[in-house]
Amino acid sequence: MQQATAMNNQIKWRRRLNSGVRYVLLTAVALIMLYPILWLFGASFKSNAEIFSSISFWPKSFDFTPYVKGWRTGTEFTFTTYFINTFKIVIPKVVFTVVSCTLTAYGFARFDFPGKKILFGLMLSTLFLPAVVTRIPLYLFWRNFGMLDSYVPLIANTVFAAEPFFVFMLVQFLRSVPRDYDEAATIDGCNSFQILIKILLPILKPSLVSVALFQFIWSINDFLSPLIYISSVQKYPIAIALKMAIDTSSGVVAWNQVIAMSLISLLPSIILFFTTSKQFVEGMATGGIKG
């Protein structure tokens, strides 16, 4: 009896030791990964000289001048204009992506039609098509339609589910949902659209949150596409506005202002991620429902 108790205590002690070591390692890795963000936060309050002379993230004094001057920018527009322009692009892209990819995935996952496998294979094959291959044809296409210097070229493709990764992900989620739900809803008098809206969408909520979050982060960080299609300063998103803040013509770059505005531009993505983190993790870790 005493030997069994001693063995149990030894096992518990080993488990606690392993857990402690694991948490220490995870904490150390987390601190290493968070250090660049902490350094950016501290650097936004430093002068240029202090930024390049110290690796410590803690500033000698907290000066909010970089945030004030950085927000005003060196142009006739403030960062408020650039944030509004960014959301004019990002919000429609997220909405259209979620709607169009859901409808397309629903068609592939729940309906049988001629050439379904071929079309699905062709859609997946576009995942391997480098974006650079389509840059020039798309530019010429939108130029001929007179749509340059507008947000239409940045948003239009999302209306037609031109995001095969999201379509494939939603198809996999839908395939994991038993068709018994569809049959039960059909018996109750639901048509195909009602089945999608009332039955499948609540189940797909975690995956839809993942799609929206990915598209939001990718769109708000996109630099090349707005650079190609937008030529008016008053229409620039924050990605290009940050590049304009690095004005090397004068020979001196106010890096504290650039860093301050970079941190502010990160806030929407960070807030959205932590707000939807539970659904995001569930959407990436599970497939549809567990049963």
CA nearest neighbour of 86 among 225, 197, 184, 260? 225
Q: Are 203 and 177 in contact (CB under 8 A)?
A: yes
Instruction: Tokens for 274, please give them.
Output: 């932590």
C-alpha distances in Å from residue 177, one per residue of 49, 106, 107: 58, 11, 14
For the chain, what is the largest distance between any 2 Cα atoms, rounded to a whole number of angstroms? 87
Question: For 27-83, how does the pLDDT look when each residue is reduced to its tens digit (9 = 90+)?
Answer: 889 888 888 888 888 888 888 888 888 777 788 888 888 898 889 887 788 899 999
- Distance from C-alpha of 120 to C-alpha of 157, rounded to nearest angstrom: 18
Distances (CA, A) of 239 to 103, 245, 248: 31, 10, 17
CATH number for the domain whose boundaries are 67-285: 1.10.3720.10
Domain coordinates in residue numbering, the chain: 2-63, 67-285
pLDDT tens across 239-269, in order?
Answer: 998 888 776 555 677 888 888 999 999 899 8
Most confident of 173-187, 221-235, 268-282: 221-235
- Phi, psi values for residue 290, rounded to 5°: -105, 135
Cα–Cα distance measured from residue 135 to residue 125, given in angstroms and rounded to the nearest whole number? 18
The answer on pLDDT for 289 being more than 50 is no
